[in-house]
Structure 1
Amino acid sequence: MLSKKTQYAFKALMYLSQQKDNGPILIAEISRKKKIPLKFLENILLEMKKEGILESKKGKGGGYFLAREASDIVLADVMRLIEGPISLLPCVSLHFYKKCDNCNEKECGLRDTLIEVRDANLAILEHKTVQDLT
């Protein structure tokens, strides 16, 4: 299940994508239009800025805007940034692998099944972008 934080990140990205011709957008506007708590949104946008998904401009006419085209912002990358691993178990994660406690990976049927789930999810999420959401 996607956390509220990730849902808000996608809502903000979709809004910024739709407003891209209007220049930088104030956090307060995004918060108001998308009904996202302001303080929570500030942290989310800052994380995405640090990762190079967003840029910001200070001063009059300032705000946030997409650092690259919406068609270049992959959903899996945003999810990993905000959520962490996409996989349901750490032992099947591609980017955040960690061996499960008390588990023999070679004999674990759950692991095998969740690898299939991970791969099915990634087949979609790594090929969809913010542009596809708008």
Structure 2
Amino acid sequence: MISQKARYALRALVALTRAGEGESLMISEIAADQDIPKKFLEQILLELKRNGIVMSKRGKSGGYLLLKAPGQTSFGEVLRIIDGPIAPLPCLSKIAYRRCIDCKSEADCEIRHVFSKVTDATRAVLDRTTLADAVSEMDVLDRAVSA
């Protein structure tokens, strides 16, 4: 399960994607439109800025904007920045591996074997799904419902 912080991060990034390339949004705009607490959103955007996902501009037309094209930022990348490893078991983490305390042999662990498949499938979907993909999928759904 992803954290509320990760959900807010993804919602803010989708809002920036919808704003258009090179367009910035103020924190107050994103917070109001996405129903995200402003102070919490500030922390999230600072973390995304430190990790090269967004940038901020000062001044009259200031705010936050995507640093990379929406097709270059995956859900997996954002989740790893905000929540850390994408793994249900510590022994399956690529960046924070830890052997399970009660495991005698990883090679013979039935639980690890099953969750390894789940983790690989989850990572594959998250790493190949970009912000642009998410927005275009919803646009297609919206047009289908409107028709």
Q: Is the 8 A contact 2:22 2:65 kept in 1?
A: no
- Aligned length, in residue pairs: 134
Q: What aligned pairs does 1:44-59 form with structure 2 within 5 A after superposition? A: 44-59=44-59
For residues 124 and 21 of structure 1, what CA distance do their matches in structure 2 show? 24
Where does residue 107 of structure 1 map in the other structure?
Answer: 108
Go from structure 1 to structure 2 and tell me whether the alpha carbon gap of 1:89 and 1:63 turns closer, same or farther (over 3 Å shift).
same
SS at match of 1:88: coil
Where does residue 80 of structure 1 map in the other structure?
Answer: 80
For residues 24 and 78 of structure 2, what CA distance do their matches in structure 1 show? 20
> % of aligned pairs identical?
41
For residues 22 and 115 of structure 1, what CA distance do their matches in structure 2 show? 39
SS at match of 1:7: helix
Q: Moved runs in structure 1, 4+ residues, more than 2 A?
A: 20-23
Q: Is the 8 A contact 1:20 1:66 kept in 2?
A: no
Q: How many Å apart are 1:21 and its aligned residue?
A: 4.8
Q: Is the 8 A contact 2:21 2:69 kept in 1?
A: no
Q: Is the 8 A contact 1:57 1:63 kept in 2?
A: yes
1:77 partner amino acid: E
Q: Is the 8 A contact 2:22 2:66 kept in 1?
A: no
SS at match of 1:126: helix
Where does residue 60 of structure 1 map in the other structure?
Answer: 60
Where does residue 145 of structure 2 map in the other structure?
Answer: none
For residues 124 and 25 of structure 2, what CA distance do their matches in structure 1 show? 32
Structure 1 stretch displaced more, 21-30 or 84-93: 21-30
Where does residue 138 of structure 2 map in the other structure?
Answer: none
Where does residue 97 of structure 1 map in the other structure?
Answer: 97
Q: Is the 8 A contact 1:45 1:54 kept in 2?
A: yes
1:96 partner amino acid: A
1:106 partner amino acid: A
1:84 partner amino acid: G
In structure 2, the gaps of 5 or more residues are 136-147
Where does residue 10 of structure 1 map in the other structure?
Answer: 10
Whether 1:117 aligns to 2:118 is yes
In structure 1, the gaps of 5 or more residues are none
- For normalisation by structure 2, the TM-score amounts to 0.87
SS at match of 1:79: helix
For residues 24 and 17 of structure 2, what CA distance do their matches in structure 1 show? 11
For residues 45 and 89 of structure 1, what CA distance do their matches in structure 2 show? 28
For residues 78 and 96 of structure 2, what CA distance do their matches in structure 1 show? 15
